[in-house]
Amino acid sequence: MPTAMRTHATDRQVGSSAHPIAAMLGLVLDVRTEARVVALPCQVNDADLWFAELPDEVEQAKALCLDCPLREACLAGALERGEPWGVWGGQLVLQGVVVPRKRPRGRPRKDAVAAA
């Protein structure tokens, strides 16, 4: 478990209880820009977006991760842990493996199968 970092008056203390994503990754979050803490996409958006059923929502979550400073560590941690599903580090992970796209629910169309 990470320990809380020492902070200045303008920073907030971030530890395992304050930032669950950092705790899962085994990190101490210290992402500051000119004395302000950068809000991570997974903190400020609905958490369900990263575990969405609809392909469009999965793509939206992946796009939100593009500028995240923890993107590489997040993906590496998810792969190391073998996460069963979700968007981690801007990639869709299913059964512990990165997959390019989420299929819509239901049976694939016959013409799409023939083209593949």
Q: Is 93 helix (H, G, I), strand (E, B) or coil?
A: strand
Task: Please indicate if the annotation marks 64 as binding a ligand.
Answer: no
Task: Please indicate if the annotation marks 65 as binding a ligand.
Answer: yes
Please list, in sequence order, all residues whose beta carbon lies within 8 angstroms of the beta carbon of residue 66, skipping any fewer than 6 positions away: 90
Reduced to 3 DSSP states, what percent helix, strand and coil does the chain have, rounded to the nearest 5?
Answer: 35, 15, 50
Binding residues for [4Fe-4S] cluster: 42, 65, 68, 74
Annotated binding site: 42, 65, 68, 74
